[in-house]
Amino acid sequence: MISNKLQDAINAQIVAEMWSANLYLSMSYYFAAKGYEGFAKWMKAQANEENEHAEQMAQYILRRGGEAKVGAIDAVPQEWDSPLAVFEHVYKHECHVSSLIDALVDLALAEKDKASQDFLMGFVREQVEEEATAQGIVDKMKLGGQSALYHLDAELGTRK
Ligand code: MG
């Protein structure tokens, strides 16, 4: 059985994952309006992934005998200055999410909850990938400048 403290903390993370999903959906629409169909598709896949994280966390709480809750989700940004600014935002946001996941692991350790430690380590690994992917796109954009955006848009549009 999961402790109330950990249950509440993971429920808060469910809201954070849903906020992330909305952020990436907002970015997807921003790109679509600007004609970047590949970036828009990539962001929609990213949004779906965040909703999937929220679902995995909810199912985990339920399997451990707790109660999963969907809390209020704050509004997300809608405007950015450039494609580079969007992906810099993604990188910064993923670093923030990593710190949230780390804090959950710390709590699972404090609660001596081995199952939750094991469950959460999957997200620790996931965050390594998220940060690296976002950083990689930012690097490519900076290297290629404006003229590389067309090709990068096509490349990211191949994401399933
Ligand atoms: Mg996530």
pLDDT in tens, the chain (160 residues): 999 999 999 999 999 999 999 999 999 999 999 999 999 999 999 999 999 999 999 999 999 999 999 999 999 999 999 999 999 999 999 999 999 999 999 999 999 999 999 999 999 999 999 999 999 999 999 998 888 899 999 999 998 8
31, 40 Cβ separation under 8 angstroms:
yes
Alpha helices in 35-148 (DSSP H): 37-63, 83-110, 114-144
Distance of alpha carbon 9 from alpha carbon 108, whole angstroms:
10
Neighbours of ion ligand 1 (CB under 5 A): 50, 53
Distance (Å) from CA 37 to ligand 1 centroid: 23
47/28 Cα distance (integer angstroms)? 9
pTM: 0.95
83 Cα: distance to centroid of ligand 1 (angstroms): 21
Cβ distance 97 to 127 under 8 Å?
A: yes
Q: Which of 133, 132, 106, 80 is nearest to 13 (CA)?
A: 106
